[in-house]
Structure 1
Amino acid sequence: MRKVKFGINISLDGYCDHTAMSPSEELLDYFTGTMDDVDLVFFGRVMYELMFPYWADVAKDQSGTPAENRFAERFTAIDKIVVSKTFENARKDTHIVRENPVAELLKLKQQPGKSITVDSVSMLPEMIAADVIDEFNLVVHPVVVGHGRPLLVAGSLQQKLNLKLVDTIPFKSGHVALHYMRM
């Protein structure tokens, strides 16, 4: 059975607004390394459109820093699923799921392969309720943004989810990577 890992960048005040944060070279190398055991990324439409075509262009043109180029190459090589009822313009390596993303993810989890990374705040409560996520990887950015989407909306979980901290990685830039597993 494949592992499903939820990963997200978050500000000190709990928001997941990627446009308000910027990763350091060291952090980009960390993200690149986390994809070594991943062969599928499961996106919501908003996050997918934030990531593409930007990273695909960086990979193609090699227009970023060395760390950005390495990340872009690795990230764009992984198969993708985007969940949307209306989205039409997916890349050729991206499959669109129109309905019941949790059932699709549960089915994919049973198939052979490497880990699956979920990168969608909007689907998080539903995926936690379905007990589909095995690991949580949060990267806390040293910034207070004061706006954006919170990791979880108040009242969105039916019950408390207990996790076990298995790794903490502090970076020179002030970022901190937190790796949790379900208990």
Structure 2
Amino acid sequence: MRTVSFGINISVDGYCDHTAFNPSEELMDYFTAMMDDVDLFFFGRVMYQLMFPYWNDVAKNQSGTAGENKFAQRLSAIDNVVVSRSLSNDDVNVNTRIIRSSPAAELLKLKQQPGKKIAVDSVSLLPELIAAGLIDEFKLVIHPGIVGKGRPLLEAGSLQEKLDLKLVDTISFKSGCVALHYLKQ
């Protein structure tokens, strides 16, 4: 069975506002290396629209830093599933499939298929996917800042029960960011 990995950038005060972070080249290299074991992204609509077409354009035009260009090329090459009731096929990349309902059931089917890891990148879907027992690992990158706004990682009361995690790796970056890798216990 495939591993499902949830990854997100987060501020010290618990917000997931990607517009508040400026990743260093070292951090971009870390994100690119994380994708070596991934062959499918599972996005919510909001995160998908934040990531694309921006990173596709960077990959196509090589308009970023060396680290951003490498990240963009790798990200753009991976297949995607997007959970959305409003996107049409004209709104997504060629390597993207839209599902309209039952994200946990769909992720379970994908998890049972052969392949590499599935990377989940959706704060809105997280409580449902945790409740279904589908998230195997969490990769959180804590940025050294208090932003005071944005979407919290989890809304108060969004989990039915506590989820215990085991810390298996910590990486500190020169920028002050810290990458934490947890496994579900």
Task: Specify the TM-score bucket, using the shorter chain as the normaliser.
Answer: over 0.9
Give structure 1 regions of 4+ aligned residues with deviation exceeding 2 angstroms.
none
1:60 and 1:41 map into 2 onto residues whose CA distance is 20
- Tell me which residue corresponds to 1:158: 160
Report matched runs for 1:1-183 at 5 Å. 1-88=1-88, 89-183=91-185
- Between the aligned residues of both structures, percent identity stands at 71
SS at match of 2:118: strand
SS at match of 2:80: strand
TM superposition score normalised by structure 1: 0.99
* Alignment deviations for residues 2-43 of structure 1 (CA, whole Å, 9 cap, x no partner): 000000000000000101111110000000000001000000
Q: How many correspondences in the alignment?
A: 183
TM superposition score normalised by structure 2: 0.98
* Alignment deviations for residues 67-94 of structure 1 (CA, whole Å, 9 cap, x no partner): 0001001111100011001111111110
Q: Which amino acid in 1 is paired with 2:116?
A: K
Q: 1:144: how far off?
A: 0.8
1:126 and 1:157 map into 2 onto residues whose CA distance is 8
Q: 1:143: how far off?
A: 1.2
Q: Which amino acid in 2 is paired with 1:12?
A: V
The alignment's C-alpha RMSD in Å is 0.5
SS at match of 1:35: helix
